Amino acid sequence: MEKLTFYALSAPEKLDRIGAYLSERLSRDVARHRYGYVCIAMEALDQLLMACHCQSINLFVESFLKMVRKLLESDKPSLQILGTNSFVKFANIEEDTPSYHRSYDFFVSRFSEMCHSSYEDPDNRTKIRMAGIKGLQGVVRKTVNDELQANIWDPQHMDKIVPSLLFNLQSGERSESRSPSPLQASEKEKESPVELTERCFRELLGRAAYGNIKNAVTPVLMHLDNHSLWEGKTFAVRCFKIIMYSIQSDVIHYKNSATVRAGIVEVLLEAAAIAASGSVGPTVLEVFNTLLRQLRLSVDYELTGSYDGSNNIGTKIIKAHEEKQLQEAVIRTIGSFANTLPTYQRSEVMLFIMGKIPVPGVHPALPSTLNVLLPSISQVTAGYQTTNMLTALPSSFLEPLLSFSLTEDPEVRLLVLQILLSLIDRHDNTPKFSNISIISDISVLKLKVDKCSRQDNLFMKKHGQQLYRHIYLGCKEQSSGQQHYETLFALLGLLSVELASEEVVVDLIRLTLALQDLALSTDEALPVFNRCAVHALAAAYLNLICQLTTVPAFCQHIHEVIEVRQKESPYLLPEGVFIHNPKLPSLLEKVEGEVLFLHSKITEVLGGSGYNTEKLATPYVPQYMDEDRLSKRKSIGETISLQVEVESRNSPEKEERTPAEEITFETLKNAIVDSVGMEEQERERRRQVVEKFQKAPFEEIAAHCGARVQSMMTLFSFRPPPSPSGTISSGYGQSQSPSVPIYEMKFPDLCVY
């Protein structure tokens, strides 16, 4: 052998003749069953192959592969294994020169066939299957990086390789999958076809590029379909764990019965939990669209009672509980996928799902649809944290969400409130407001309170009135229960610690006092429980906000009222209402005097601490109009606000109060540096004034403008044009125009539509 190797290295042009001779001898020995000589010939070929790397090796390789093929075609297990081992050695060799005419189609087919061996002897059957797995691994290694070879990722090859691996993986399935990263196995594990198959499968998937992964995973889905492996889900989950630990991709579903679809979704749930953050990539909305389509189909099936929308004889009737299980599985999977996404993509997903909710009154299955889509949004928002509330809750998302808080279905209203809590809570304060109660010292709650940022101020100026309105209307719902009032209390608490400026605190106190008036009103047909619950909610929140504002007189008044209630009317406090069997009066009458929080008293004590008394003194009245009622045209209110703003800026009082400023070098320097910032602040101030006059209730505008309201009416006054014949002078020195026909009068632009 040493002499033969030396001769081949000395005269590489003789390699092809050496290979041809050995191939001929091996074929003759196989036919004559002289297996000892067969082994000697293969050993000689293996050693020559390992030693020689010259340019002439291609022809020798052809002879070598011809002999391997001859051995694999044999019926003898020992020859099949011998041929496989030689091929594996060859697969590990990096060739110096490319090959343009070599084909591995036979080896893919033959090794796949060996993976399914049904040889009678169990030991030989196991050896043949393991040889087939090793052979497939060798084919992949040899061809995956060779651009001149046939593409191993083509469906014609993958449809043979992947099912062969899954067949062996399934035959020795274990209850638990291996660790995420494939580690070097021990010698005993190397003898296990299952472990060998798993390593081979991991290697195959690990070599797959983004464009090839579909061809590798599709046969997995087909195998699970053809062998009904979805319902048990154990093997399916194991397969997808292997896939997700090797690659990051998303492959979704086939349509079938509810249990099968639920199994598929459960597999996706497990797979998504493994995926790294952001791994869903550019197809994220397609993933959620597919999951939402499954939700919609499931709801339709549940409503019609069959898969084809009819109840004809022979139609496969569905089971409602199976569809419910599927819907729950899809919702959990949506949450699992969402948890892997960055913040900006979760915002896109929330808007995307909201866009799938049909308009009320148009879709006949709106309640059922809401009951599955809103939980999906809730799953996406769980753990969602953002620094900018304007991006977390844009108008396109917040307005339709709040509109669903006014539906008759109490479950839907509760879901909307929970979604709002998830989005507003940025410091994990929600659990601290889970129980509505009177806390004498809120320091035990260990609330995390940050200073209100500029973005938070802008958000509350833009959407604060909407939130207050829906909190107020939510308290008016007769079907609201304890959980609703607890969630409303948590929402008020979060607004106070997450988004509260001085202006927001005033608004929230006005809102709470309006809730007390709501509970006292006899016009609202609220049951006794709801009225007591609203009183208790107002008491609990005022107890919270008075301690947050730290105004001693305010705290004293609130605590005095609470003490009176504890003695005389415990059913007006949370501890007397939100219990198992509350002792409520049959009629809620004569709730007056010291058991009520006094609007005037609160206004007085807060005004002494610098709060806006004018606004505090104005009772809160919810806006019952549409939030998007404003047109793109400039409204009269906008024009009025600009006039008031200019008038207030040019008032002589302000000019007199402005002290003379000494002009220095620093003054000029600051004027140059701050000019851009001052312009920005000026634009923002103008925008805020305009927005206030657009969205604030009329009472607030009237209170703000005060004496100038009368002067505003001059906008609507008009005078006819002077007569060509001159004017008529009155006795008081005033001129009077003669009568002019109405069609000749010139009206101000604001009076003309």
DSSP string, 540-593: HHHHHHHHHHT-HHHHHHHHHHHHHHHHH-GGGSHHHHSSSS----SS-----G
Q: What is the mean pLDDT of the chain?
A: 76
Evaluate if residue 638 carries a pLDDT over 70.
Answer: no
Give the pLDDT band (50/70/90) at residue 749.
low
Calculate mean pLDDT across residues 579-583: 89
Single-letter code of the amino acid located at 352: F
Residue 621 near residue 513, CB atoms below 8 Å: no
Evaluate if residue 487 carries a pLDDT over 90.
Answer: yes
Q: 200 is written with which tokens?
A: 């081979």
- Strand pairing partners for 235? none
- Strand pairing partners for 317? 306
Calculate mean pLDDT across residues 166-180: 61
Evaluate if residue 736 carries a pLDDT over 80.
Answer: no
**pTM of the predicted protein model:** 0.56
Give the pLDDT band (50/70/90) at residue 751.
low
DSSP letter at 662 equals P
Cα distance between residue 391 and residue 121, in whole Å: 68
Residue 380 is predicted with a pLDDT of: 87
Cα distance between residue 701 and residue 641, in whole Å: 9
> Residues in the chain, how many?
753
Note the pLDDT tens digit of each residue in 678-701.
666 777 787 777 777 777 777 677
Give just the sign of the alpha carbon dihedral 484, 486, 489, 494. negative
Q: Which of 199-213, 332-346, 418-432, 727-741 has the highest mean pLDDT?
A: 418-432
Alpha carbon distances (Å) from 189 to 110, 184, 194, 200, 664:
25, 10, 9, 13, 85
Listed range (47-61, 669-683, 707-721, 738-752) with the worst mean pLDDT: 707-721
Listed range (90-99, 134-143, 221-230) with the worst mean pLDDT: 90-99
Name residues whose C-beta falls within 8 Å of residue 355's C-beta, 6 or more positions apart in sequence. Answer: none
Cα distance between residue 456 and residue 435, in whole Å: 26
Among 711, 739, 709, 710, smallest CA distance to 723 is for: 739
Residue 453 is predicted with a pLDDT of: 86
Cα distance between residue 281 and residue 342, in whole Å: 10
Cα distance between residue 544 and residue 550, in whole Å: 10
Residue 333 is predicted with a pLDDT of: 83
Among 157, 168, 170, smallest CA distance to 212 is for: 157
Evaluate if residue 255 carries a pLDDT over 90.
Answer: no
Residue 486 is predicted with a pLDDT of: 95
Coil, strand or helix at 104? coil
Count Cβ atoms below 10 Å from residue 711 Cβ, excluding itself.
12
Give the pLDDT band (50/70/90) at residue 191.
low
Count Cβ atoms below 10 Å from residue 584 Cβ, excluding itself.
16
Instruction: State residue 108 phi and psi, 5-degree precision.
Output: -60, -45
Note the pLDDT tens digit of each residue in 278-330.
454 556 677 777 778 778 787 777 777 666 554 444 445 667 777 888 888 88
Q: 324 is written with which tokens?
A: 């419910």
The H or E element spanning position 520 is helix 502-520
Residue 706 is predicted with a pLDDT of: 57
Share of the chain above pLDDT 70, in %: 73
Name the residue with higher pLDDT: 687 or 636. Answer: 687
Residue 146 is predicted with a pLDDT of: 64
Evaluate if residue 657 carries a pLDDT over 50.
Answer: no
Name the residue with higher pLDDT: 101 or 636. Answer: 101
DSSP symbols for 392-436 = HS-HHHHHHHHHGGGSS-HHHHHHHHHHHHHHH-SSS-GGGGSS-
Calculate mean pLDDT across residues 182-209: 71
Give the pLDDT band (50/70/90) at residue 627.
very low
Alpha carbon distances (Å) from 693 to 461, 628, 633, 697:
12, 15, 14, 8
Calculate mean pLDDT across residues 610-634: 66
Calculate mean pLDDT across residues 658-668: 57
Name the residue with higher pLDDT: 163 or 275. Answer: 163
DSSP letter at 105 equals H
Among 547, 610, 537, 617, smallest CA distance to 578 is for: 537
Q: 26 is written with which tokens?
A: 């091996």
Instruction: State residue 435 phi and psi, 5-degree precision.
Output: -110, 125
Give the pLDDT band (50/70/90) at residue 747.
low
Share of the chain above pLDDT 90, in %: 23
- Strand pairing partners for 533? none
Name the residue with higher pLDDT: 704 or 220. Answer: 220
Cα distance between residue 117 and residue 38, in whole Å: 23
DSSP symbols for 172-186 = T--SS---SSPPPPP
DSSP letter at 92 equals T
Calculate mean pLDDT across residues 241-269: 65
Cα distance between residue 753 and residue 746, in whole Å: 13
Give the pLDDT band (50/70/90) at residue 539.
very high
Long-range contact pairs involving 561-564 (C-beta distance under 8 Å, separation at least 24): 561/594, 561/595, 561/596, 561/597, 562/438, 564/594, 564/595
Residue 280 near residue 287, CB atoms below 8 Å: yes
Cα distance between residue 320 and residue 316, in whole Å: 13
Q: Which of 1-5, 27-31, 525-529 has the highest mean pLDDT?
A: 525-529
Residue 233 is predicted with a pLDDT of: 67
Name the residue with higher pLDDT: 602 or 239. Answer: 602
Q: 633 is written with which tokens?
A: 């045209």
Query: For the purposes of burial, counting CB atoms within 10 Å of the CB of 249, is it exposed (0-12), middle (13-18) or buried (19 or more)?
Result: buried
Coil, strand or helix at 735? strand
DSSP letter at 702 equals H
Angle at alpha carbon of residue 250, lines to 245 and 255, rounded to 5°: 125
Evaluate if residue 359 carries a pLDDT over 90.
Answer: no
Residue ranges of domains in the chain: 249-384, 389-627
Name the residue with higher pLDDT: 292 or 538. Answer: 538
Listed range (54-68, 368-382, 656-670, 708-722) with the worst mean pLDDT: 708-722
Residue 649 is predicted with a pLDDT of: 41
Q: 93 is written with which tokens?
A: 């060799």
Evaluate if residue 723 carries a pLDDT over 50.
Answer: no
Give the pLDDT band (50/70/90) at residue 338.
confident
Name the residue with higher pLDDT: 272 or 19. Answer: 19
Residue 30 near residue 71, CB atoms below 8 Å: yes
- Strand pairing partners for 728? 736
Calculate mean pLDDT across residues 261-275: 70
Calculate mean pLDDT across residues 702-730: 49
Residue 64 near residue 110, CB atoms below 8 Å: no
Evaluate if residue 656 carries a pLDDT over 50.
Answer: no
The H or E element spanning position 371 is helix 366-381
Coil, strand or helix at 729? strand
Evaluate if residue 79 carries a pLDDT over 90.
Answer: no
Angle at alpha carbon of residue 8, lines to 6 and 11, rounded to 5°: 105
Cα distance between residue 134 and residue 112, in whole Å: 10
First-to-final CA distance of the chain: 107
